Amino acid sequence: MALSLLSMQRISKAFGGIPALSAASLQIDAGEVHALVGQNGAGKSTMIKILTGYYRKDAGDIQFDGASFDVESPQAAQMGGISTIYQEINLVPYRSVAENICLGREKRRFGLLDWPAMYEDARALIARFNINIDVRQPLMNFNTATQQMIAISRAIGFKAKLVIMDEPTSSLDEREVGVLFDVIRQLKADGVSVIFVSHKLDELYQVCDRVTIMRDGQSVKTAAMADLTQLELIAAMLGRDIAQVSRHTTAFGDRTFQYQSGPEAPLLKVSNLRAGRKVLDVNFNMRRGEIIGLAGLLGAGRTETARVIFGEDQRQGGLVELNGVAFNPRDPADAIAAGLGFCSEDRKLDGIIPDMSVAENLTLVLLPHLSKAGIVDETAKAKIVETFIARLGVKCSGPNQKIRELSGGNQQKVLLARWLATNPDLLILDEPTRGIDVGAKAEIQSLINAMAKDGLSVLMISSELEEVIEGADRVFVLREGHSVAEFAHKDLSEQAIMQAMAYSEPATTAAGAAS
Amino acid sequence: MTQSITPTGSQGISKTIMNGLGRHGVVLALALLLLFGAVRYEHFLGLFNISTVLRYNSMFALVALGMCFVIMTGGIDLSVGSTAALGSVVAALLSPYGVIIGTLGGVFAGLVIGCINGLIVTRLRILPFITTLATMLAASGSALLLSKNQSVSVSYESGFTELGQGDFLNLPIPAIIAGVFYIIASLVLNLTSTGRTVLAIGGNEDASRLMGLRTDRIKFLVYLASGGLAGLAGVILASQFGAGQPIEGVGWELFAIASVVVGGTLLTGGVGSVGATLAGVLLLGLIFNILNFENGLGWISLSAYWQSVIRGLFLLVVVILQARLSRPND
């Protein structure tokens, strides 16, 4: 048994009464690369932010390097030997590499900055990673991978014993990932421990020794990477027992969709869609009145695909056909005019208008239809608002209550109503039940079911397996920007979907491992 | 990853009162100031004084109205002061051709600046602050070029001065013009889809675009309107003082921003009121008026520069109140 460097025991933390962590634990050995994985909301970020002093824990105990560790600020954590490399590199782009490395522990002589000593120091730190750059150049002259090396050098300069890397590879290409992994192995050889957070499973297997899997604010499993198959890892992440498949844990009814055979073109057909870094080759189709599930791990390109279909991002290749005709919306307004709706994943970021009322939030999309010569017909508006508040069971003090005062579930209902009121042909729902309580979740699921029965076609993106398995007529699985599998409702099983999510093409693995 | 969920449910009564104060505070302050003046000074509520205050402040009211809409979308328009100066010069130069041509010319000059602002902000995606800072300099330079760096006398024969100096039904014509625009603006904001879209953009621009709202079109329109209103303010300036003033308008943009903010409109956008902006203009304008009356009593002699100090203090107090009272949850 190796020496333990960090031990976080029974850590709990709640935000506004909602627990984010309940008695979670994490133990890191000296000189170990440890993967930390989990779904969105599993508690990884909270755990790391407590360790690095951004949040204070409510309960629990942290031992680091043989002593109790309880810091109040990220600066204190850094001084204590824990450094964090963020996904978005947070260094100062206009200042030199040396300044970035030495910022906060500048070398001085007679009270003035000792530039030669700092350049020398920076050069020595960088040289450990076999890269040779001019440390007097501004940071922004270098590519992302090099900047990451510089960030790591800075961490080492602070004599870090533990380096936390939060999705460090998300903006790197394959070759750069190889370089980063070399650096991680170098760190390990020097006895520095690394916590590695990533959603790319192949990478975890390449570089990590052990893994801790988090779910619903708890650590559900810690194991050596070698003892865990990808399937087992995903199963633990999603909270599924591979052997046991339970039916009907959601409020979706039985899907008994009958395909109308006939010459009719599919409602939506997506072929070889390519856009940005996340959507590489996506193919799927949907028929009128169908609920299609898009499954995949975080970063698989599901949301990005939806944004392209909705005209918010532009495609770089491939074809989208709506009712058999090529469909290229320039912006969401085009897509809405064509009968689409899009309920986005992050309510706060691009869903609600917080300072506007429930009624306003519900009717903004409809305004052009509710206005005569630009003047809003308040009577018609009030009627629609009243109808949908009643139909969806939105709990609010009245249509004029500000939407930010509502609970997450009720906000989501208002957003659903916003689109249902436009009477769309195709509604895209991105994580329709994320972050809302169990009761509201069931209501929204049965609502989606009822809408589809009335003939609405739904494209549902969900990270919850039950939701896509029980809710969808067919499911397409995306993996790193490619559609890799299609399942009809009768063939759906959690195991099959997880297998498709986890399956890695040999070529990808080989390319990554070559580093 | 972990969402912090804002507490829901009913707000406390005290919080509701505080929210109300934050929003209607400017009206209350205006009422108190009027009461103070009416009790203390003999001619404060006399027709002459009211008429003078309204006539002079209607220019600022027009500029602040345009600014109010820009700020509600989450933007800013620093060019309004220079645009008013340019408008006054253009109007003065065209004044021999009559009040209509002079007015249209001044407003057109303002619309040109507003159009440039709108196009740069929406098409080139340059920040409004930078864009309007640049056009502020350009408009100021254009005004100086056109006027050859001196004030341009208006034609008194053409009746151009009637616009700024005349009365209609005992009310100053500039005040009537400003009043009409405020009524129209209030209707647009509260009753039309354009008005709702203005607030939606300021509240959450990403969400607005995903809802298919024509965000760029509306943003273009608010900058266009702001420019046009500033041009109109310039026309009134030229007409009222009998000359196009290329170096007037300095600091008007800041006065306009101050009025809008005192009126409770959030600088981050999404929340705002036309009526409260007018109250903000009058509140800041009355401070100057009351200072004059106070000096007139003969007990003290405060320099006119004190008005800026007092206005500054008012602005600070209001912003602090807004920050502390209105949005305790965020």
pLDDT tens column, A122-145: 888 888 777 778 888 888 888 777
Split at pLDDT 50, 70, 90, the class of A250 is low
The verdict on B270 touching A (C-beta cutoff 8 Å) is: yes
Residues A25-33, mean pLDDT to the nearest whole number: 93
> Distances in Å between the alpha carbon of B148 and those of A270, B24, B89, B184?
63, 46, 10, 37
Q: Which residues 6+ apart lie within 8 Å of A324 measured at CB?
A: A265, A266, A269
Name the least confident of A226-235, B17-26, B175-184, B259-268. Answer: B17-26
pLDDT tens column, B230-249: 999 999 999 999 888 888 88
Q: Which of A332, A348, A405 sits opposite B212 (nearest CB)?
A: A332
Question: Does B210 contact A348 at a Cβ distance shorter than 8 Å?
Answer: no
> Distances in Å between the alpha carbon of A199 and those of A36, A40, A86, A169, A237?
9, 10, 14, 10, 11
Task: Show residues of chain A in contact with B8, CB under 8 Å.
Answer: 405-407
**pLDDT at residue number A208:** 93
* B271 CA: distance to closest CA in chain A (Å): 7
Residues A231-246, mean pLDDT to the nearest whole number: 67
The verdict on B12 touching A (C-beta cutoff 8 Å) is: no
Strands A4-15 and A59-64, by their bridges, are antiparallel
**pLDDT at residue number A364:** 92
Type of residue at A231? L
Residue with tokens 């700092």: A118
pLDDT at A509 over 60: no
Most confident residue range from B59-73, B192-206, B292-306: B59-73
Indicate the average pLDDT of chain A: 84
Tell me the C-alpha distance between A26 and A34, whole Å: 10
* A403 CA: distance to closest CA in chain B (Å): 10
Q: Which residues 6+ apart lie within 8 Å of A349 measured at CB?
A: B206, B207
Tell me the C-alpha distance between A470 and A245, whole Å: 12
Indicate the average pLDDT of chain B: 86
Q: Which of B1, B8, B9 sits opposite A41 (nearest CB)?
A: B1
Is A85 within 8 Å of A152 (Cβ atoms)? yes
Strands A33-38 and A210-215, by their bridges, are parallel
pLDDT at A490 over 50: yes
**pLDDT at residue number B243:** 87
pLDDT at B296 over 70: yes
pLDDT at A418 over 90: yes
**pLDDT at residue number B109:** 96
Q: How many CB atoms lie within 10 A of CB A88?
A: 9
Split at pLDDT 50, 70, 90, the class of A338 is very high
Residues A12-32, mean pLDDT to the nearest whole number: 87
**pLDDT at residue number A77:** 87
* pTM, to two decimals: 0.74
**pLDDT at residue number A2:** 60
Q: Please compute Rg for chain A using Cα positions.
A: 25
pLDDT at B17 over 60: no
Residue A434, H or E segment: none
Task: Show residues of chain A in contact with B271, CB under 8 Å.
Answer: 355
Report residue A240 CA to chain centroid gap.
20
Is A307 within 8 Å of A316 (Cβ atoms)? no
**pLDDT at residue number B83:** 96
The verdict on A437 touching B (C-beta cutoff 8 Å) is: no
Q: Please compute Rg for chain B using Cα positions.
A: 21
Strand runs labelled E in A30-161? 33-38, 59-64, 67-68, 82-85, 108-109, 112-113
Q: Which of A46, A365, A407 sits opposite B211 (nearest CB)?
A: A365
> Would you state the structure tokens that stand for residue A355, as one six-digit string?
């300072």
Residues A365-394, mean pLDDT to the nearest whole number: 89
**pLDDT at residue number A18:** 75
**pLDDT at residue number A240:** 67
pLDDT at A437 over 50: yes
> Distances in Å between the alpha carbon of A178 and those of A137, A182, A183, A211, A323?
24, 6, 9, 20, 44
User: How many Cα atoms sit within 13 Å of A285 on the Cβ side?
Assistant: 12
pLDDT tens column, A55-88: 888 999 999 988 888 888 888 888 888 988 876 6
**pLDDT at residue number A506:** 41
> Distances in Å between the alpha carbon of B281 and those of A185, A453, B32, B68, B251?
66, 57, 15, 11, 14
The verdict on B212 touching A (C-beta cutoff 8 Å) is: yes
pLDDT tens column, A449-486: 888 888 889 999 988 887 888 888 899 999 889 999 89
The verdict on A20 touching B (C-beta cutoff 8 Å) is: yes
User: Counting one residue from A and one from B, how many pairs have CB atoms under 8 Å apart?
Assistant: 115
**pLDDT at residue number A246:** 38
More confident residue, B41 or A128: B41
**pLDDT at residue number B330:** 38
Tell me the C-alpha distance between A162 and A193, whole Å: 5
Is A465 within 8 Å of A497 (Cβ atoms)? yes
In chain A, pLDDT over 90 holds for what percent of residues?
Answer: 30
The verdict on A177 touching B (C-beta cutoff 8 Å) is: no
**pLDDT at residue number B328:** 43
In chain B, pLDDT over 70 holds for what percent of residues?
Answer: 90
pLDDT tens column, B102-147: 999 999 999 999 999 999 999 999 999 999 999 999 999 999 999 8
Name the least confident of B37-41, B108-112, B278-282. Answer: B37-41
- In chain A, residues 335-374 whose CB comes closer than 8 Å to chain B: 335-337, 342, 344, 348-356, 360, 364-365, 367-368, 370-371, 374
pLDDT at A294 over 70: yes
What ipTM was assigned to the predicted interfaces of this complex? 0.77
In chain B, pLDDT over 90 holds for what percent of residues?
Answer: 48
Q: Which of B3, B196, B199 sits opposite A376 (nearest CB)?
A: B196
pLDDT at A278 over 50: yes
> Distances in Å between the alpha carbon of B305 and those of A271, B64, B237, B250?
70, 22, 21, 15
Tell me the C-alpha distance between A157 and A144, whole Å: 20
Tell me the C-alpha distance between B219 and B226, whole Å: 11
Query: Which residues partner with A112 through β-bridges?
Result: A109
* A22 CA: distance to closest CA in chain B (Å): 13
Split at pLDDT 50, 70, 90, the class of A101 is confident
Query: In a 3-state reduction of DSSP, which class is residue B74?
Result: coil
Split at pLDDT 50, 70, 90, the class of B19 is low
Residues B265-283, mean pLDDT to the nearest whole number: 88
Question: Does B4 contact A371 at a Cβ distance shorter than 8 Å?
Answer: no
Residues A400-422, mean pLDDT to the nearest whole number: 89
Name the least confident of A116-120, A465-469, A484-488, B82-86. Answer: A465-469
pLDDT tens column, A390-407: 988 888 888 999 998 888
In a mutational test of the B interface, the residue from A11, A37, A363, A364 whose CB has the highest number of chain B CBs within 10 Å is: A364
The verdict on A2 touching B (C-beta cutoff 8 Å) is: no
In a mutational test of the A interface, the residue from B6, B189, B210, B214 whose CB has the highest number of chain A CBs within 10 Å is: B210
Query: What do you get for the CA distance between the two ends of chain B, in Å?
Result: 18
**pLDDT at residue number A442:** 77
* B328 CA: distance to closest CA in chain A (Å): 12
The verdict on A382 touching B (C-beta cutoff 8 Å) is: no
pLDDT at A429 over 90: yes
Query: Which residues partner with A325 through β-bridges?
Result: A322
Is A305 within 8 Å of A282 (Cβ atoms)? yes
